[in-house]
Amino acid sequence: MSTRVLPPGPTDPATEQVRRYIETPIEFWEACERDFGATITLELGSLGRVILLSDPEHLRELFRLPTEAFECHQYNEHYRYVMGDLSLLLQDGATHKRQRRLLAPMFRHDQLLPKMSEMRDIVLRIVDSWPAGKAFNPRPSLHDITFQTMVRLIFGDLDSPTSSALITAYQKSVSGQVGSWGPWRNFSRMQPQIRLLLADEITARRADPDTPGFMTHLALSTEADGTPLSHEECEDHVFSLLVAGVDTSAISLAWALHWLSRKEDIRERLIAELPQAAGEETGKALLSLPYLQAVYAETIRMYPIVPTPSGRKLLRETTIGPYTFDEGVTLVPCTYLTHRREELYPNADEYRPERFLERKFAPYEFLPYGGGARICVGEMLAKYEFTVAVSAILGRWKIETTDAPAMRPVRHGTLLAPPDSVELTVH
Ligand code: HEM
């Protein structure tokens, strides 16, 4: 029997709830869960009434909702200035479905596997300039790796005028800002010039459909009636992939290095496993190394980089578990709290990759990439980048063990990341 009673939640004014949600999210979510349980009603200012969900059974129901039942663009509005009006994150309904069908094939295994050796070259070229024996913050170079990987995939090379211009624009405007709340703000100011370059790319690829890179796929794609995609839409997809796919993947690498420099036993076990993939280091063999894949999963379980995937604003009355919610309420999965559930992850505060060798988790128990119709389109790319980068770094450098305490994440906009003070020493 469903009931009309809303889940409990804090009675603080909305402004205070917003402040805590933004400034101290982990402490706020943990306090709410302690006081009110797994399903919590919040009042979040412009987002209105928000229900935070972390019970796996409720998430299973949420991820199964038909796309006609909710919208996400309201929750993702803050990306509009940098991703563009036609970004996937800002679409719902039929347009969202069409755009997913357009983008998803670019990030499938058969597309990405042949690119793994180029990804490895990018990693090795960038980490080669790390300073031996001297503590440094690896964050900017990790963002360079994931940015250049994305540029390489989209444009097919790193040396063309467009690729070079994008890399320069990124290094000038974003690289030094990776720990800030809006690292892409200055980049977005260069959009008019970048759009001119992208327009030339679209024209050139329509004239020569054999040009490598995802940009050709976008340029040659059509609407259902056969008309080519607008320039604006192709360009907005490029901006969306760069913004959604670069910082997220780089932060997963930053966390991996954070843990591997603190957990010598885990690092040694991982290093011992890598030779099994020797000779095939950039391909399938790496992806099937169980401990490397467990380290990957545990890294994005421990501190989910996107701790709250897109909120689903209900377009009709909807029942989840014992609750029936009115149209207009926003349901937000709280991945952070689900990944902290003791019955799923005993000693959840401990970084222990072995837990992923001991049992399998359902998609509503382990959800670093969200779920359902909005699940991250770049999930496979992020996994392949992690696999390639971590194995390449461990092959190139010896990581020094530090006895510095583990760090708590901080908010970088919508993402959770290690604080800027994170340091690494390599030999
Ligand atoms: C470790 C790396 C990454 C993490 C943790 C991550 C996480 C997420 C999450 C949680 C969502 C929201 C899903 C939902 O609402 O259910 C999302 C959406 C999205 N991600 Fe990722 N992501 C990562 C890497 C990437 C990469 C590499 C790309 C680009 C290829 C990408 C592109 C996108 C896009 C376009 C969406 C919007 C999907 C939609 O609204 O339909 N992400 N991601």
The full set of domain ranges for the chain reads 14-417
pLDDT at 420: 84
- CATH tag for 14-417 (out of 1.10.630.10, 1.10.1040.10, 1.10.10.10, 3.40.1350.10): 1.10.630.10
Q: Is the CB of 252 under 6 A from ligand 1?
A: yes
Q: What percent of the chain has pLDDT over 90?
A: 89
Q: Confirm or reject: Cβ of 370 under 6 Å from ligand 1.
A: yes
pLDDT of amino acid 228: 94
Q: What is the pLDDT of residues 354-373, one digit of tens each?
A: 999 999 999 999 999 999 99
Q: Which residue ranges in the chain fall short of pLDDT 50?
A: 1
How far out from the chain centre does Cα 384 lie?
Answer: 13
CA of 374 to the centre of ligand 1 (A): 8
Please indicate whether residue 89, judged by its CB atom, sits closer than 6 Å to ligand 1: yes
Cα 376 to ligand 1 centroid, rounded to whole Å? 3
pLDDT at res. 175: 79
Our measurement of the distance from residue 33's CA atom to the centroid of its chain's CA atoms, rounded to an integer in Å, reads: 24
Closest Cα to atom 39, ligand 1: which residue?
A: 374
| Lookup result for tokens 């909710």 | 70
For the record, the structure tokens of 375 come out as 């699940």
Q: 311 CB less than 6 Å from ligand 1?
A: no
pLDDT tens digit sequence for 374-398 = 999 999 999 999 999 999 999 999 9
In ligand 1, which atom is closest to the CA atom of 240?
35
Which pLDDT score, from 0 to 100, does residue 223 have?
87
- Ligand 1: residue of 237, 376, 380 to mutate (most ligand atoms within 8 A of CB) is 376
Per-residue 3-state assignment (H helix, E strand, C coil) for the chain: CCECCCCCCCCCCHHHHHHHHHHCHHHHHHHHHHHHCCEEEEECHHHCEEEEECCHHHHHHHHCCCHHHEECCCCCHHHHHHHCCCCHHHCCHHHHHHHHHHHHHHHCHHHHHHHHHHHHHHHHHHHCCCCECCCECCHHHHHHHHHHHHHHHHHCCCCCHHHHHHHHHHHHHCHHHCCCCCCCHHHHHCHHHHHHHHHHHHHHHHHCCCCCCHHHHHHHCECCCCCECCHHHHHHHHHHHHHHHHHHHHHHHHHHHHHHHHCHHHHHHHHHHHHHHCCCCCCHHHHCCHHHHHHHHHHHHHCCCCCCCCCEEECCCEEECCEEECCCCEEEECHHHHCCCCCCCCCCCCCCCCHHHHCCCCCCCCCCCCCHHHCCCCHHHHHHHHHHHHHHHHHHCCECCCCCCCCCCEEECCEEECCCCCCECEC
CA distance 230 to 85: 12
* pLDDT value of position 280: 65
Q: Does 245 contact ligand 1 (Cβ within 6 A)? A: yes
Asked if residue 9 has its Cβ within 6 Å of ligand 1, the reply is no
pLDDT score, position 179: 75
